Structure formats: structure tokens, C-alpha cells
Structure 1
Amino acid sequence: MSNKVKIGISIGDINGIGLEVILKTLANNAILDYCIPIVYGHTKVASYHRKALGLPDLNFHIAASASAANPKKANMINCWEEDVKIELGSSTEIGGKYALLSLEKATEDLNSGEIDALVTAPINKFNIQSDTFKFPGHTEYLQQRSGGADVLMFLISEELKIGVVTGHIPIKDVATSITKENIVQKLKMINDSLKKDFWIEKPKIAVLGLNPHAGDNGLLGMEEQDIIIPAIHEAFDKGIICFGPYPADGFFGNGTFKQFDAVLAMYHDQGLVPFKTIAFSTGVNYTAGLKVVRTSPDHGTGYDIAGKNLADPTSFIEAIFAATHIVKNRREQESLLRGQLRSGGKIIETATDVKDDAN
């Protein structure tokens, strides 16, 4: 039996660039040295995209299930049988319907352990809405389906790792959602993920302010004084090495972010704008806090370039590598802990600095 990581891939919106970046990624056989890719979609839809884009032929192994995947080929699980109308570059109800069918089957296999990780191609958050999908995005859907108590949208790259306290909510609701408890919880999740998933022994985390100039000592808002600073102190007392709050503009403009292993932003665009500016083509969206592993590229459906053979697969490739890396790190950590238990030794801090109480 192959011990390579099984990576499930949901195809996203069939009218976007999801299948283009998937096909371009899997056209390079070198990817098979690292993982077993399993695409949840349909060969006819993939063939349509391949022909429309003029891409080289890619022969999928048709697998009846993830357990039947061929470790030496790119695999496809056909999630439906009927013909599908594809309208490249358009948001349609059909595009949302089949994106959800792919995601549902892949998530089912992820939760049952049939695959080791899931890489999701971009969906349209509007046309995918249905009786079974009433979520702002992948993150919230996977949290509910995987039973996660809390999750963290964690954008990762070699240059920068950044999480957010509030994710897909209206900007008018951000300030009231910033609480000391939420900040401490997100700091704990970043800290745990850096240790468990990335093997950073003593991570150092920066915390951004909410207001311009981090409130200017209360002149431009009291959230820093009343909420964020007390949260930083509490987290530090719990063993989390964190500092701040830093004004977001200067923090990225003068390169201060390079001094930290990760950054906690207060809201979506405060974190994602600098992240995509710094690491747009290589960035990966990782959902930390789940028992399962899920990553995605940090771009959207790309309707404006769909069908034009212009989509860059780099972020999708990085998402596959990140998922594979995290799964292997978790496996090695579990192996170390099992070895300690078998030897009768006390569980102490390992190379990943994982503690049995985890605060």
C-alpha cells in the first residue's frame, strides 16, 4: 500500500478557472512524487476545459472510490452522470450546483478518512447557495461539516502567514465582533497551528490594531486600550509569544512583518490586502483549527479570464504542497507521541513544542 498522501481536489465553479489550474497542475507528473491527487468532478467536464484551453491531453484514472485511486496517476471520481452545460466566464445556477456536488462528495471522503487532505478550487459564494449550502464560504461550510468548534482563516506563504479574527462578515459588524475572548482564541489557534502544522518551536506572533494608528492611545478609538491590549497580555500569560498592537499600514510598509512567524489581523481585508500584495501568486488559504486538513489557492473564480488559458496555477500547486506538508508533519508528530507512550515515558515538549494541556 502506498504511504503517499491522498489529496482530494474539489473542482469549484465549472465556469471559472478552477479546472484550468487543476489541469495545469496535474499535467506535471512530478506532482505524483509527492501525493496521490484525486479530483472530484467528471471527466467530460474536465475534457471540455482541456479542449477549450488547448491544453495537452491528461488521462485520468477513473476511480470508483478514493480507496481505488492509482498512486501513479491523476485520479478522477465521477460525481454525476448527466451532461452539464458549461458557460465559461459566467455565473450560473448550474455552475453553483455542480461545484457543490463536487465539494459534498470530497468533504464526505475527507471526514471519513478516505482522503488525507482537501484542496478546494474557487467557488462563487453567491451561486452555490442552496438548501444544503447556506454559508459565506468554504471555511464555514467545512467547520460545520467537520464539527470544528472554531476555525481560523490562515493565509500562508514563505514570506508571510496571517490569520484574521473576523472573516466573512460585513465591515459594519467588525468592531462589535472584536472581543478579548475572540482575540485570545485566534492567537491560540495560530500558535497551535504553527507548532503542530509547521513545526515552529516557539512562534512569535504580531497583533494588529483595529483603528488607524492602532487607536493613537485612545484618540482614534478605544478598542486597542480596552480589548486588544488586555487580550495580548492574557495570551502572553498563557505562554503565547505575541506583541502589539501594531498600526497595520506601517507594519507592512516598513517590513516589520518579517520579524514575526505570523500576524493576527482584526478583519478580512486588513489581512488579505497585504497578503495578496506580498504573495498573490504563491499564497495559500489554510483552514486552521480543523481535525482535517484543507487548503485552497488564494484567488477566486477568475471569470474574466476563464477559457483564455491565462490562469496561473502556482497558487494551486502551492496549496497541494502545503496540504501534503501539513499532513506529513501531523503524521510525524503523532508517531513521536505514540513512541513516547509505548516507551512509558512522560509526554513532554517535542520538537513541535506540543503540550498535553495545549493551554
Structure 2
Amino acid sequence: MAAAHSSYDVVIIGGAMIGSAVAWWLARDPGFGGRILVVERDPSFEFASTSHTNSCIRMQFGTEVNVAISRFGLEFIRAFRDYAGEDAPEIHLDDFGYLYLAADQVSADRLRAAQALQARMGAGTRLLTPAQLRTAFPFMAWDDILLGSHNPGEEGCFDGGTMFSEFRRRARRMGVEEIRAEATGLRMEGDRVTHVELSDGSAVACGHVVNAAGPRAARVAAMAGIAIPVEPRKRYTFIFEAEDRLPRKLPLTVDPCGIHYRSDGALYMAGCPPETDGACDADDFAMDHAIWEDRVWPALAARIPAFERVKLRNSWVGHYAYNTLDQNALLGPHPAVANLLFANGFSGHGLQQAPAVGRGIAEHIIHGGWRSLDLAPLSVARLVEGRALTEAAVI
């Protein structure tokens, strides 16, 4: 389907969660009256990172800007109808929390510093000693753990699918146009993008372009002569049933062994990176079936003896858009191209950060800067400045 117009005020490349959030925030802002085009290569989103997400939100980050983004994300989930309209559905949050575990002194000190930061910003994260962990979670083995960090009530799994659908549906209602196409090039004049070239052979003129291309973000950036350190990386997810159900919901537990696991309704979910974590092709979704038997299940059973008797029900591969510089999002305009804005490199945090980032990018387009929340620490300009903002709390 070709674009309905030859020019748009904003062209968004990538229509999954981040691109749709930007489009929705733009369209609902009374200060914006322009045309918006969302270019999406696969409107089924079958292989999008959005479709393979575990759909969680947490306060437990180690940088102030990420905690602030999560604080707004939690507010947005809880008050979704206030933002989207009275006819919008509520977004369910299963707030079982995250549980970070430290098995060495360096990791324990990192948890203490992160908890102090989160507490200063109003988050309810609490530190748990081994004795407190044994009392709270007696079905788990704690001999190797020095410290835990848990935030019940503000973290967990939310209905990201409904939020995503509502962003798209309501944006279309407000006039946002979506087309099935792939961006194949960016035409430049000086430091500005003038046209986005599409896979049907056409080109549309643009006022602003938003790179929301997920794991393919570096390809889009290269069309403007810009290199960004974002690459697709595989992440495995496993859904399993336990013969012996645990007596309470299992928080999303980030285990020192390199896997994570949590309750998933009546079932349980576990996830991990590949044995060798590096770049993959954006179309590579091949599963390593041996990793469940060889790595994940043994680690689960060692931590939770009840998980010695489990049955694997489902598994899939998703992609992180992984920022190799510092595992943090790259946001806003690049110094070399004034009207090309980036929303990339979330390294697994994109779904939970979409409300704040969508609003921030929209405000930057309309007002020329960050307004409601200062996202400057995540500016893509840090690539040029050689300034990393490392986020240690990456799963």
C-alpha cells in the first residue's frame, strides 16, 4: 500500500511499541497538527521484539534517568485510562516484583548503591539478608547468596500487548497513517533528511524522521551516514509447568548464574542469553534447544528444588536491540542530522520505557527539547561526545 500523501511532517520508521508510542503521543498533543506516517515492514509484528517480550517493568535500575523513566511508566500503566480516554481498557499489572541476587561482594555493593538511588527517587526497593530471603522464600536455596534486592508492589508483568494495540488503534483514529513498506534510503540536503525512500520505489518528503527500527536501527542510521552501536542479540524464553506449585508467586528473579525466572500465571517463565552472547542476523530466530536441558533446567532445579519436576510447554527466541556502548537507550537528534531522531538501543527495556520515550520524542519534535522528563542523559549525542552511561542492571 502506497502512502496517501507525498509529504509528512513526521515519518516514523518502525511501527512496533516504540514507534507506535511516538505516533500516539504526537497525535494527541494539542500543539501538533501535522501529518504522521508510520512505515512498518511487517504489520503482523510476528518477529518484532515487541511480540517476543516478557512485558515487565521494574524500578531496579542503577541510573537515575532509568529509574525516573520507570516511575513514569508505572504511573502510566496505573492511570492508562486517564491518558488514553475513558473508553480505554485498564492495563493489568501483576506486581510480584523483581528479586536481584548477589553472590559476591562486588555485586552486593552494587545492589546497595542501586537501592539507595531508587529509594531517593521514591521507589520501594528493599534489601534482604540471607536470613530474610529464607523466611520470605523458604522453597529456594540460599547458601551461595550474600544479599537480595526486592521491590514488591511496583514491579512485575503488565499487559503490554493491550497497551501496544491501543497506541496503534487510537493513533489511527486521530489520523496517523500506517503503511506496509520498508525504508530503503534517506535523501539528504546538508544536515537534514528531506525524503524517506520506500521499498515500493516511492519517496516521501519529511519534516522529521524517527528511527524506531528496533534491532534494525543501525541499518536506518547508516542511511544517513551515521554509525550507532546497536545490534540484534538473541534472548531465549521458556514456559514450563511445575508438578509441585510454589506456595507464593515467584518474583522475576535475576540469578547470579545468568538466568532469570518468574511466575507466569499458573505456569513459570525462564530466560537467558546464548552461551556466547553476540550479534546475530535480524532474521535469525533459530532456537538452541539444548540450552534448556544443559543450562536452564539444571540452574532452576539447583535454586528451587521443586523445579526438578517440570515440563517444558513452550519456548521462543526474541531479539534485543542491544547497545554495545553502555546498554542504554539512544534518544533524540544526532548532532550531524538535525531532523533525524533516534529511539533505539533499549537492550531489553523498550516495552517498559515506551510510555516515557514516546512522550519525550514527541515533545522534542514539537517543542525542540525534553519537557516532561529530562532524557538528556540518554541523548544519542553521547556517541559523538564519547560519554557512556553504563546501566549495570541489564538482564
Common fold: TM-score over 0.5:
no
Query: More helix by proportion, 1 or 2?
Result: 1
Report the TM-score range of the alignment, normalised by the length of the smaller protein: under 0.3
Query: More strand by proportion, 1 or 2?
Result: 2
